[in-house]
Amino acid sequence: MSNQYLVLFFLVGAIFVGLVLILSGIIAPKSINPQKFEPYECGIPTQGVTWLQFNVGYYLFAILFLVFDVETVLVFPWAVVMKEVGMTAFIEIVIFFFILGLGLLYAWKKHALIWE
Amino acid sequence: MNEGKVFSLYDFTALTKWIDTGLHHAMSPFWAVITELLIIGVLILIFYALIGLFLVYAERKVCAFMQNRLGPNRVGPFGLFQTIADLLKLLFVELVPIKNADKFLFNLAPFIVIIASFMAIAAIPFAKGLHAIDLNIGVFYVMAVSAMGVIGILLAGWSSNNKYSLIGAMRSGAQIVSYELSVGLALITVVILAGSMQLSVIVEAQRDGWFIFKGHIPAFIAFILFLISSTAETNRGPFDLAEAESELTAGYHTEYSGIKFAFFFLAEFMNMFIVASIAATVFLGGWMPLHFGAWAAGFNHVMDFIPPFIWYIVKTFFVIWLMMWFKWTFPRLRIDQLLTLEWKYLLPFNLVNVLVMAFIVLMGWHF
């Protein structure tokens, strides 16, 4: 039953947005003016290209995020069974977090956490 | 059928079961399921729209009172219909197609942000038996689905062919992925305590005391960390760098006009509602009334008298009010301060907090 509901919510969301967009498309006025279709840039004509390569700082954070997010995914199942498994689980997670902490410390010392 | 017995404000299980069996008697199983899906879909959609409209109004009112103004007070009693009027106006605004924009992605972005928030709201328990999807990985599901919204924001920023939008979207991406970690770890702290990710089980486990009280100091710290990081995750002030009006015009939705802009606006408010309800469900007991131990039986009875749905709404709006309070109290952070806060303070703090909580649960020191 649950899986059906997931599809249902996806569909209802999509249909909701689609219908409202169509409705707005019907009732909203339209007027053609070439200047209106320019991207906004403080009222002056657009300078240069927009789609260019972006600062590597974002890239470093993305890599770090990947490491820690996979870690979060790994820790969730551990958190569920932690009560039953007991001491073994705790020691294992301490070791796991210790290694992760070292990784974070390494990134910190390498100045990967500084926004430039 | 005697309606009086079926319909109870305290337990919706009987009502939903009654509807289910009634429909199955009336028509073939296939059509019964279809009708149920329709009912649920429409109900959730109405709830979604109503909450969204009310939140916009609430935000403006709270902001106004914090700035010693009156806020919207013309349309309807206390200006209650102001957002409906605004919505109607937005429907009549032209959808401006931007030159050189990536048309497909430009139109896809509002779909993604709305669908992400809509799917997240499906898994939230509103009251006993009033729960669309009760997944056994509920907490994880809500986290995962609501994080999908960032794709919509990135697409919106990238496809509009506007520098402000691009910068806003990139900031938003860096910010949301960073704070996602803190949200996850704060939730893990509670999952350790509850021993389950199913939201209904988590609520049930708080029958004799909410987790924020049960879990000693680590749970309280986790609540604070969750509040901070979820405020950042929903792109709200003081972390609203993605749409910093003073520097980026409107950030990622600069080029969106009319109802498309309204979708981003709505999704932002609904995301706030979702994280607030997760905070209320996980830390403040969801629809569970405020209970103290057996020594306060009389008090517990009085609290039981208030319907669970009211408890849920009050708690959620309390958290939302906290988030609005943040927004109108703190100045906006710089992007480097924002990332420093997450990576150098919240994340290490969170990791230690999870370990402390694990140790407390291991030793059985919690209530």
Question: pTM above 0.80?
Answer: yes
Among residues B293, B288, B334, the alpha carbon closest in space to that of B310 is found at B288
The answer to whether B142 and B202 have CB atoms below 8 angstroms apart is no
Q: Distance between CA atoms of A51 and B162, rounded to whole angstroms?
A: 9
The answer to whether B27 and B35 have CB atoms below 8 angstroms apart is yes
DSSP state of A48: S
Which domains does chain A show, CATH number per domain?
2-109 (1.20.58.1610)
Q: Distance between CA atoms of A69 and A67, rounded to whole angstroms?
A: 6
CB atoms within 10 A of CB B35: 15
A25 neighbourhood in chain B, CB within 8 Å: 95
Rounded to the nearest angstrom, the minimum Cα separation between A9 and chain B is 6
Task: Report CB contact under 8 Å: B115, A10.
Answer: yes
Task: Report CB contact under 8 Å: B94, A28.
Answer: yes
Q: Distance between CA atoms of B18 and B225, rounded to whole angstroms?
A: 42
Rounded to the nearest angstrom, the minimum Cα separation between A110 and chain B is 13
Burial category of B8 from C-beta neighbours within 10 Å (exposed 0-12, middle 13-18, buried 19 and up): middle
- In sequence order, the 6+-apart residues with CB closer than 8 A to the CB of A46 are A38, A39
Say which of A25, A86, A97 has its CB closest to residue B362. A86
Rounded to the nearest angstrom, the minimum Cα separation between A67 and chain B is 10
Place of tokens 């992760």: A100
Locate the chain A residue with the closest alpha carbon to B142.
Answer: A6
Burial category of A31 from C-beta neighbours within 10 Å (exposed 0-12, middle 13-18, buried 19 and up): exposed
Maximum separation of any 2 CA atoms in chain A, in Å: 71
B109 neighbourhood in chain A, CB within 8 Å: none
How confident is the prediction along chain B (367 residues), in pLDDT tens digits per residue?
334 455 666 667 777 777 777 777 777 777 777 777 788 778 888 888 888 888 888 888 888 888 888 888 888 788 888 888 888 888 888 877 777 777 888 888 888 888 888 888 888 888 777 777 777 888 888 888 888 888 888 888 888 877 788 888 888 888 888 888 888 888 888 888 888 888 888 888 887 777 777 777 888 888 888 988 888 888 887 887 777 677 777 777 777 888 888 888 888 888 888 889 888 888 888 777 777 766 667 777 777 777 878 888 888 889 999 888 888 888 888 877 888 888 888 888 888 888 888 888 887 776 6
- In sequence order, the 6+-apart residues with CB closer than 8 A to the CB of B86 are B56
Joined together, the tokens standing for residue B125 give 């328990």
ipTM of the complex: 0.82
3-class secondary-structure state, position A110: coil
Mutate to test the interface with B, among A40, A67, A97 (most CBs of B within 10 A): A40
Q: Distance between CA atoms of A108 and A102, rounded to whole angstroms?
A: 10
Task: Report CB contact under 8 Å: B166, A27.
Answer: no
Cα angle vertex B248, ends B246, B252, to 5°? 135
CB atoms within 10 A of CB B30: 8
Among residues B254, B237, B212, the alpha carbon closest in space to that of B332 is found at B237
Task: Report CB contact under 8 Å: B133, A100.
Answer: no
